[in-house]
Amino acid sequence: MLKTDLRAWTIWWGAYLWPVWGKLLHSVKTGTSARKLLLGTDGFEHLQRDRAAAAVFNEAFREVTRLACRDIVAAYDFSGAKRVADIGGGYGQLLLAILEAHPHLSGILFDLPHATPETGLPDRCEFVAGDFMKSVPAGADVYLLKHVIHDWNDDQARLILENCRRAMTDEARLLVIERILPEHFRNTARDQSAARTDLTMLIAHSGRERTKAEFHELLDAAGFRVTRIVPAGQALSIIEARAACGRP
């Protein structure tokens, strides 16, 4: 394992996940976030008022995303796009990698104010602060949601997807980049890792990983149709979706 891998996971586990894992039993019994039990807040509200915690989270997210960027950029063809919006994109590691690989593209990096990039973005990319539970920026023809949907329960995830759908034209594409759970778990290292991640989402955010069928159901309910699923390394898949008839 590379030093950067160790650094990312040390930050992630030591400062962000280890405290909530101590309340695993609470989350298993109640189905609710251990972070809410400890801090009294849902989702990422605590990062809005704790800049030190926000810096730890965003740095860890940047490192973890960096490890997946090459595979994602190689797996998906962005050549036909003009403007890419990374929704909940943190410091913008993935979006910047896509823009670097495709000089014809411009980008929108969208996240809560705590995720404002520490370094300047290139001229082709703008940072827009906002809350994807309320709305997302219009004007892109590709929308990215990497490691966003698994942070939320089905109702919250559907709301995020519906807000993306409202911002998108009928020709735009949505790329949901997530781990896909197996329909039936086996005693393998890959499936054990998937189960740990699923538990992590439960205790940290009351969220969950999902199977292929569950992603189809969730996207259908939000006004999308899945057009294809592309493997992207690091146990991730790119779920491409387009608008179904009508709007949510």
Catalytic residues: 150
Q: Which two tokens stand for residue 55?
A: 């810096």
- Contact at 8 Å (CB) between 114 and 51? yes
Site of tokens 């199977």: 211
Rounded CA separation 147/87 (Å):
10
Closest among 94, 47, 48 to 75, alpha carbons compared: 94
Site of tokens 């179904």: 244
Closest among 140, 132, 231, 227 to 178, alpha carbons compared: 231
**245, amino acid identity:** C
SS percent in the chain: helix, strand, coil, step 5 = 50, 20, 35
Q: Provide φ and ψ at 155, rounded to 5°.
A: -65, -45
Taking the CB of residue 244, how many other CB atoms lie within 10 A of it?
A: 16
Closest among 172, 131, 127, 139 to 47, alpha carbons compared: 131
Classify residue 227 as exposed, middle or buried by CB count within 10 Å of its CB (0-12, 13-18, 19+): exposed
In angstroms, how far is CA 212 from the centroid of its own chain?
Answer: 16
